[in-house]
Structure 1
């Protein structure tokens, strides 16, 4: 299973939630099955990246543990998940290449000259 890491994160997070004894907590012997259901719900038609998303999964479970009194659903988990970190864009000037600019100008002139026929 390509998404074993997701199943492991879900099982770990649900096991931690289990310890909180929230309202409507499933029986301990149901956690493995619950994790399988969550895995299916969370991975259906979604693409996850282990490096980018593992911290997000962990933070989502932490958010659920901090703010829930009732056992959450996979939808609650998705709402608790923070957005992916975005790489910061920096303004870095790109040095001009005069030779490339001349070639592009010549190609453009040739193209425009060829269209006038």
Structure 2
């Protein structure tokens, strides 16, 4: 299976991150003629990392990593400088469904607990 089709979002995220870096005019940056090819090389390298890329989990991480990279860059970076800046994944917390517990059963349980406490105190 060709993963690049599944990773169109990754290519766009990398391009967006690099475009933000291009406007900084960092030393060693690509020329206007080669910036598209540069993005292609970054995509090729980043998609080869041993990460099972997931758009929902990784797109925000890439955005944060590119922001951190641009914030500290004095020269045009290489893809290896981006990787340690990727924050940990934040997994969504699914809410538990409401318990299917009849009110009559809850009332009965409460009576049982009260009875048990009363018996424990009177012994």
Residue 27 of structure 2 is aligned to residue 27 of structure 1: no
Candidates 49, 66, 70, aligned match of 2:71: 66
Residue 88 of structure 2 is aligned to residue 83 of structure 1: yes
Partner SS for 2:52:
coil
Residue 22 of structure 2 is aligned to residue 18 of structure 1: yes
Candidates 47, 51, 64, aligned match of 1:46: 51
CA RMSD of aligned residues (A): 1.4
Q: Deviations over 1:55-91 (max 9, x none)?
A: 0010011001111101111100111211112567xxx
How far apart in 2 are the matches of 1:84 and 1:25?
Answer: 29
Report how many aligned residue pairs link the two structures: 88
The structure having more radius of gyration, on CA atoms, is 2
How far apart in 1 are the matches of 2:33 and 2:88?
Answer: 32
Q: Deviations over 1:76-116 (max 9, x none)?
A: 0111211112567xxxxxxxxxxxxxxxxxxxxxxxxxxxx
Structure 1's consecutive aligned runs of 4 or more residues displaced over 4 angstroms after TM superposition are none
Gaps of 5+ in 1: 89-117
**Could you tell me how far 1:30 is from its partner in structure 2?**
1.0
How far apart in 2 are the matches of 1:12 and 1:31?
Answer: 12
Q: Is the 8 A contact 2:29 2:76 kept in 1?
A: yes
Partner SS for 2:51:
coil
